[in-house]
Amino acid sequence: MRNIKLFYTLETGLSLITGIILPVYVLYFRLFDITLFEVAILSAVFEATIIIFEIPTGRFADRYGRKLSTIIGFALYILAALVFLNYRDFTGFLIAEMIFGIGDTFISGALEALAVDSIPENERHDRLPALFARRTTFKTAAMLVGMLLGGMMAGVKLSLLFVPVMAVAGIGLGVSLFLVNIRTATSAKDDVPADVNFPIRSIFSGGIMTALFAVGLLSNFVYEPVDQFWQVLFSEIKNIGGEYFGLITAAGMILVVITASLSKKLYSKPGLYLFGAFILIAAGLLAAVKMDLYPALAGIIVYFAVKELIRPLISTHLNRHFKSANRATMLSAYNMICSIGEVAAAVLAGFLAANYGIKFLFVFSATGALALPVVYNAVKTAKS
């Protein structure tokens, strides 16, 4: 069970890193005279790097070991942090974003695959919901702590933002050395799967898998407009001061921590779960844009919480379907699909906001949330 405990530790560290960076990402670049257009380019390069490298690094993990892949990922995080700290211009940041993105892909599928395959096969089906619900709890709590730390860095010494990032990545590198490679059913050696062909067609051979990949892709068209512009809605339309935004996101995370363990009881009914989750998201977004201040705040808090509670359901069913020998590759394929959706949705969100306004954007996301359960069931039925 060592891998499971280390999995929680490393996932907590990854969320801590994200939390530190997320609230002050733009402010850090602006400190060094990076234009808003250049910030957008940096973000796009990061996502493009993930799209390009997800499947190759997933295959690397399946062929040469998930432990090695995780170690390389944390080492690249450290290298990226060093570049951020020492080369403070657009070119340096561009290189750092690419290194960071590659590091992310080395970890994303490998660590989860290693944890899942550490559970005895005869227990895996029943224990996966608890594994991913608990991960969500740890990740959310760590994200909250990271955001508080990132905010403190902004007030104390923003230029040193990547010092704690590097420190956490260094701890992650040390912890990953204690991971244990797991022999899979098709392994030629204890730590190297023999058959690592990438059966991409198998993803779309079953109804539920095709439907979950569709949700992973299309849900970004619900999330991305809100994530980009909710602060604009509440600052410019609802007249809330920016100093309260951290409390709003924190409230959503606390709600996730409280409900994550309870929600796993519904993972056995993915269609019903997704229907309820996206209905709640739609209601929350409509409340945020159309109702008075306090119901609007409640709506956006519900949105933040429910969005986080959807991923453990999807992770549970993906890992029940994927075979051990190709698990990291398949998880990377899912992450790649999500990244493609995120990039496309970000472009569309910017276009809609510029041409139709923020309120329209929230109604658009709410409508998409109502449509997603219909899409899930239609795809599942068509492919079954």
Tell me: domain 202-383, CATH 1.10.3720.10, correct?
Answer: no
Query: Which structure tokens are listed for 340?
Result: 């493609």
What pLDDT was estimated at residue 206?
Answer: 65
Output the CA angle 95-160-111, nearest 5 degrees.
60
What pLDDT was estimated at residue 203?
Answer: 59
Q: In angstroms, rounded to a whole number, what is the distance separating the alpha carbons of residues 292 and 302?
A: 16
The per-residue DSSP string of 150-185 comes to HHHHHHH-GGGTHHHHHHHHHHHHHHHTT------T
What pLDDT was estimated at residue 191?
Answer: 43
Mean pLDDT (the chain, rounded): 90
Are the CB atoms for 147 and 246 separated by under 8 Å? yes
Query: Which structure tokens are listed for 66?
Result: 């998930």
CATH: 3.40.50.150, 3.30.2130.10, 3.30.465.10, 1.20.1250.20. Which one for 2-196? Answer: 1.20.1250.20
Are the CB atoms for 115 and 103 separated by under 8 Å? no
Query: Which structure tokens are listed for 374?
Result: 């219909």
Domain ranges for the chain: 2-196, 202-383
C-alpha separations of 189 from 64, 67, 192, 260 in Å: 10, 14, 5, 37
What pLDDT was estimated at residue 94?
Answer: 97
Q: What is the pLDDT of residues 196-239, one digit of tens each?
A: 455 555 555 668 889 999 999 999 999 999 988 888 888 888 88
| CB within 8 Å of 151: residues ≥ 6 apart | 23, 24, 246
Output the CA angle 58-109-60, nearest 5 degrees.
20
What pLDDT was estimated at residue 195?
Answer: 46
Q: Write phi, then psi, for 179 (nearest 5 degrees).
A: -65, 155
Q: What is the pLDDT of residues 196-205, one digit of tens each?
A: 455 555 555 6
Identify which of 41, 57, 145, 138 has the alpha carbon closest to the alpha carbon of residue 95.
41
- Helix, strand, or coil (residue 349): helix
Q: What is the pLDDT of residues 28-46, one digit of tens each?
A: 888 898 987 898 889 889 9
User: Considering Cα of 167, then 170, then 175, then 179, what sign does the dihedral take?
Assistant: positive
What pLDDT was estimated at residue 200?
Answer: 56
Half-sphere exposure of 324 toward its Cβ, with a 13 Å CA cutoff? 21
In this chain, the answer to whether the domains covering 2-196 and 202-383 adopt an identical fold is: yes
What pLDDT was estimated at residue 183?
Answer: 65
pLDDT, averaged in runs of 10, over the chain (384 residues): 94 95 84 86 91 95 95 98 95 97 95 95 93 95 89 85 96 97 55 47 70 95 91 87 78 91 91 96 97 95 95 94 89 93 90 91 96 94 78
H-run or E-run covering 15: helix 2-21
Q: In angstroms, rounded to a whole number, what is the distance separating the alpha carbons of residues 311 and 288?
A: 23
